[in-house]
Structure 1
């Protein structure tokens, strides 16, 4: 255990102890009758109090997200320390938790899975949740290995999204409109319509949103980033008796995105382009990064109580269709190519357009996923409660990458259109059992086990997309010719099988509303082959990942349940952790033929950390909540991975470097959040104020040349007025009130097709935190 980790752990432990002791003394003196509401979660596939679950679970209610104007899925990280959400390109998103990062373009199984109404989402279907959030019941964040009860095993955690349920008794709903100063509008509505009161009800909900995002401006044509999202949902709840209930939900999301990437640096192409910093929020692109996607999700849940058991069947389906057109060589323009002697000498094919330096690409995704789960759970037994079940999932579709290829022929190069096509089919099977033993009034033990099998078939080949004749007249490509098989035959079909499980012991203190627990769990991710538009040679295959973890935690309530305080310390050991080496230079002497590629990798690693969260009702009209996360996640000594920091050896596909001690991803080790809301009651209405502070500490970005990014904090402020019975609500809000400027991430220098000396544009792609945003929101409830 490192000295830094020990110091931070000690500081957090002292803070928890001080709060706990002060909370106990105040509890003795306080006589207030108001208290926090009990939080009910389904993290263990049965309704339980959050305080009874022997693991770290955070529940975020839909109303809390609305109050804080957190409308996009990525906004969840504002109220969840240790969680990092990043929309990569509109079609997919990255979720990092407990220091473990994941790139969906890796083709590997997710480190943090997403569930929508208990349904597992397909690999790219999770991109459908990286959109506008609307009409949610709650979001549950499950931290740590999910190796027993969830649909798939994921080592870092899971995000479970639960949409709002229809009201079975009365017509109710709302209309909400929000305007922001980035030319943004967000209009949401929802309504429950009981058809047979108490038995059958329908709820409809929808959202339309558009904005100019962070108003990133393109230097080339003055255009600005913008996005538009529209979505709709219909939910049907049927409960003909006390013993049987059914719920059906259908949702679609359509997103159109025209995005520009912020650059920093100085041009090396001599085109009269400006020197930029991230704070300029400026791009240099010959075309916008244009994305169009449609996501459809369906869930069906049937619950039947019979013979002291609850039988549950969950079936789901998701479909993704998306197209993305973009320039993969940022930081250049067609201007100035014609009269630039160095460029025209190196690129004789450029002519009058110079498009060979722009590297235009297109990505097409079609993804179909379905899953079925049947489970049987005992109900309210005195000594032993259990849940057993079976699971089946299927995911299929294809991923196509259309791009211009540079082929070397002696001193000259040939440019022609190609397409890398990767059809896939993945079958998943599982069987599980989870047991809860109530040993006595104070001790509870839990034991779970899961068997899973995955049968994965992934093919990938590079094809010519046009008829082409090379400088060598004997070499002719016809449209549709296979130029390279990117995944060899022996790696196209791979099967994985594993057993995982969990065990915990929990002790409830007799004289306090508190419990302590220790839990151990294992997780697993199957191996596979990297899907790439390059031949990765011996680096194509990646191995299975295994991990085990140990967590010790305390959950407590104080001041007559006005203060809820939970904390945990954890350690996780990974064998063959599945990571990603991005934009690695490939050896021209190898089968990869040079250029660059992103490679899915393996390396042993460890994760250790501490998490604390609290909620405090200081007065009946004053509420405070927050949390802290500190995590160290790094590769073990002696691990070697592809990197641009070392030299090629022989004909190896990529240079290999010792990365021992390197962080697993770009997530900040230390993050914290604090929110408070205060209400001033009046006769017919009430005034309220809400503040939200999020701090992100210093971190190492493994893709950044500097390697280190500074910490930053942002503060949001909301001032509102609402009618006493909440029929209407109007609020003015400012996100990032002090207009803090900070770099969230950096990527390596953008490259053209060129060979040395002109190989990079001189610019780095940088992610900047969103600038100050001012908005006005109005809600009418009925």
Structure 2
């Protein structure tokens, strides 16, 4: 296989080297492919609910076009983060949910808070994990930074990620097919076909994808249990319909279904590799080994269904738009709970079943023709309703006394349910007004009134119910901006905006007995934020050179923070035996939350330059420093000095109870970073293409994603991340009009392995029977810790063929 890759690489390089003298001899100039926007072509976005050149709007918007997704072989929604500095995308290890981090604040879906950066599919809000899957037939991805909510969807303090799928063509038949294979077990095939059913009036587009790969490629060192290779299998399909029976009426509908199955092992590293003097290991595992000590893997089964519809009516220069959506999400996961591999040959699991149903409706009225030749407006109403329920069974081994051999007496089953007595709802009215003062100056402002309701929550543990009171939140958010064009190609702007999110109830602390102090770290109040931003956008040399920059300041009250590593607390485990419920105190760790004040200061900049018609380069950079300012957070503080101890092993129950008393957990005042990703990140993209013959172009592309040093959890000294960069290279041949392309690529070509997250030494919780057969909570600590790392090096081939309207 490697011989083939080397041969193709040499062939591609040879073709490019031949192309250079050909250019010198005949002066041929390679034109941009028909499927790609030219370097000086306008990029159109709808960030303000109407089509505008991204250079004309007083907002920071990063756009990833369809051609960029294709050219850089972006197959997974999470890989968009390699193109957008300051953006971090993730899905949860148990398959329940996904999230985005943007502009210096950390968002963890396990807080239960509304997202800090909202996700949209075709203008309708969706859950993040719907988008962060296998990606296919996408027309554009735009990342809109800063407070959102006065123009559409939901209020979000950090931004919005909008994915727009390709729409049917009313006039021409067309489509594409694309296939990718690599040396680490990936096969990805996707494609689409569009048919005008009634030319000019109705059309349909069918798209689909099949992706199989080896997931995180982590394998187990154990021969017991299920030692088969990891895998991730995704199959998805989408049907889009467009009908325009009259000039004044436009109807759209989309149905999408995705099924994903995963078998994966958590990755481990020998703890002494990072921490000198830690408990020695039987064997050494490094990050490069991509190994696990688990005997059995995690199994995940996900099903997503999306219904997306839209109707537009144009009358008398105005347009009425109704956008609706319904999302169904079901996941089952079985996760190995013997994290320390304490019980040899016998694992115990946590089985989770989560089901979510969300419906959204939005009605907007906006002008098509400018009122009085100077005013644009948008007014609307938004409604959402979501029902979600989680049922899980937590298994705990109970061991016999040592005098009876110390074997497993039983596996205790603790059923846990989290649900609400009704749907989580939001109703909003919003409006935005833009006044154009001549050709050069623009004033804009918007308001939104939000009315949110979270019904009574029920946490049912082994039949015991803990009620979380209903929450209601009402309030206004606003945004205002001013821009001025000193020339048609140089614009300066300033804006301010606010946001609010209803306070969440965190799930994760399943203790059967909780103190009020403990509950304050899970039942959080409403968060509000205020942002200020100034920036400029400029174009030079007939739009061949574009330079944009933004600086911003944002403050939060009651930001929904969640600790990145576990905090030790007194956990009461409930077990059921013969209908009798018994609660037993023990030591556990959980990632508690907190409502904290946060301040963020940041700068963002982007530069793109078409150096020649054949060679272009783009550089994006982001710096965001967010800090919690004197916030009260849960901590492990055995010495009472108000600073998290950063323990690498659990304390004894007696030692912990002596400190926390009836509170069950300690609290510390902290001033620390609010995000655990690097404050600075940057990307560099470049492409050189040249004509080899009238029918063939050669090309060479590169993508460098750089992340600066990350502090990690300030209360835990062993998860720091050094600065690192990942380089992807693509080379091959293609048709001048973009009809077909064959490329050889290498992702992470330098095979950089960086530990991006390092946890505490793995711990297994169990119960030990005393000689009198009384259950006592106990823990076993491993000399290995779970880690996350960068993706491995990948060599691959990609072929794409397009036809008709594509």
Contact 1:321-1:366 within 8 A present in 2 as well: yes
Counterpart secondary structure, 2:110: helix
CA distance in 2, matches of 1:441, 1:329: 66
Q: Which structure is higher in RCO with an 8 Å CA cutoff and minimum separation 6?
A: 2
Tell me if 1:404 matches 2:413.
no
Partner of 2:3: none
The 1:400–1:705 alpha-carbon spacing in structure 2 relative to 1, beyond 3 Å, is: farther
Q: Is the 8 A contact 1:266 1:274 kept in 2?
A: no
The equivalent of 2:569 in structure 1 is: 586
Deviations 1:641-664 (A, max 9, x none): 01232574332232212221x111
Q: Does 1:228 align with 2:233?
A: yes
Q: Which runs of 5+ in 1 are unaligned?
A: 1-33, 336-352, 465-481
Does the CA-based 8 Å contact 1:630-1:669 persist in structure 2?
A: yes
1:301-341 deviation line (CA, Å, top 9, x unaligned): 11111121111000100000110001133231533xxxxxx
Instruction: Flag the 1:543–1:734 CA change in 2: closer, same or farther, 3 A.
Output: same
Alignment of 1:151-300 (within 5 A): 151-221=153-223, 222-266=227-271, 273-300=282-309
Deviation digits for residues 612-648 of structure 1 (CA, Å, limit 9, x no counterpart): 0122212222221120001101101x22201232574
Q: 1:611 aligns with which of 583, 604, 608?
A: 604
The answer to whether the 8 A contact 1:359-1:753 is kept is no
Distance of 1:691 and 1:437 partners within structure 2: 42
In structure 1, the residue matched to 2:706 is 695
Partner of 1:474: none
8 A contact 2:546–2:607 mirrored in 1: yes
* Whole-angstrom distance in 2 between the partners of 1:359 and 1:156: 40
User: What does residue 386 of structure 1 align with?
Assistant: 377
Return the alpha-carbon distance in structure 2 between the equivalents of residues 528 and 757 of structure 1: 31
| SS of alignment partner, residue 495 of structure 2 | strand
**Residues of 1 paired with 2:189 and 2:392: CA distance?**
35
1:443: how far off? 1.4
Q: Distance in 2 between matches of 1:214 and 1:420?
A: 29
* Structure 2 partner of 1:418: 414
Residue pair 2:318, 2:369 contacting (<8 A) in 1 also:
no
**Deviations for 1:646-691, whole angstroms, at most 9, x for unmatched residues?**
574332232212221x111211101000001111112221111110
Superposed displacement of residue 272, structure 1 = 7.7
Aligned to 1:7: none
Say if 1:449 and 1:756 are closer, same or farther in 2 by CA, change over 3 A. same
Give the match's secondary structure for 1:66: helix
| Aligned match of 1:621 | 614
Q: Secondary structure at the match of 1:623?
A: strand
* CA 758–374 in structure 1, closer or farther in 2 if over 3 Å, else same: closer
Q: 2:498 aligned with 1:518, yes or no? A: no
Q: Which residue of 2 aligns with 1:302?
A: 311
Match of 1:674 in 2: 684
Partner of 1:770: 791
Q: Which sits farther off after the overlay, 218-227 or 307-316?
A: 218-227
How far is 1:126 from its partner? 2.2
CA distance in 1, matches of 2:152, 2:586: 42
Match of 1:429 among 422, 427, 432: 427
Structure 2 equivalent of residue 373 of structure 1 = 362
Cα distance, 1:393–1:119 mapped onto 2, change above 3 Å: same
Please give the alpha-carbon distance, in whole angstroms, between the structure 2 residues aligned to 1:551 and 1:155.
13
Aligned to 2:54: 50
- Rounded to whole Å, the distance in 1 between the matches of 2:61 and 2:471 is 34
Contact 1:666 1:745 (8 Å CA) reproduced: no
Taking the aligned partners of 1:108 and 1:779, their CA distance within structure 2 comes to: 41
Q: Structure 2-normalised TM-score? A: 0.84
- Aligned-partner Cα distance in 2 for 1:59–1:266: 41
In structure 2, the CA distance between the partners of 1:48 and 1:651, relative to structure 1 (3 Å rule), is same
Deviation at 1:548, TM superposition (A): 0.1
Structure 1 contact 147–524 (Cα < 8 Å) conserved = no
Matches within 5 A, 1:27-106: 36-89=40-93, 90-106=95-111
Instruction: Name 2:351's counterpart in structure 1.
Output: 362
Aligned residue number for residue 761 of structure 1: 782
Kindly report which structure 2 residues correspond to 1:400-479, keeping only aligned pairs within 5 A, or say none.
400-405=391-396, 416-424=412-420, 425-464=423-462
Query: Could you say if the C-alpha distance between residues 704 and 75 of structure 1 is closer, same or farther in structure 2, counting changes exceeding 3 Å?
Result: farther
Pick aligned residue for 2:632 from 632, 640, 645: 640
* Bigger shift: residues 211-220 or 751-760: 751-760
Q: Does the CA-based 8 Å contact 1:701-1:746 persist in structure 2?
A: no
Deviations 1:75-120 (A, max 9, x none): 0011100001122223322311011121112211111111111111
| Whole-Å separation in 1 of the counterparts to 2:398 and 2:451 | 41
Aligned twin of 2:515: 537
Q: CA RMSD in A?
A: 2.6
- Structure 1 548/270 Cα, relative in aligned 2: closer, same or farther at 3 Å? closer
Q: Answer yes or no: is 1:732 the counterpart of 2:736.
A: no
Deviations 1:705-750 (A, max 9, x none): 4242101001110011112333321110000111111111122222
5+ residue gaps in structure 2? 1-37, 574-582, 637-643, 646-655, 767-775
Cα separation, 1, equivalents of 2:303 and 2:456: 23
**Matching residue of 1:341:** none
Shift of 1:586: 1.3
How many residue pairs match? The answer is 704
Quote the Cα distance in structure 2 between the aligned partners of 1:385 and 1:683: 47
CA contact (8 A) 1:513 1:556 kept: yes
SS of aligned partner of 1:560 = coil
Task: Quickly say closer, same or farther: Cα 1:292–1:443, change in 2 above 3 A.
Answer: same
Task: Choose the corresponding residue for 2:757, options 730, 745, 760.
Answer: 745
Instruction: State the Cα distance separating 1:217 from its structure 2 match.
Output: 1.2
CA distance in 2, matches of 1:171, 1:757: 66
CA offset digits 1:373-410 (Å, max 9, x no partner): 00100123121111000000000021112112479999
Contact 2:755 2:789 in 1 (8 A): yes
CA distance in structure 2 between the partners assigned to 1:409 and 1:154 by the alignment:
52
1:5 is aligned to none
**1:142-194 CA-partner distances (Å, limit 9, x unpaired):** 11111312311111111011001111111111111110111110001111101
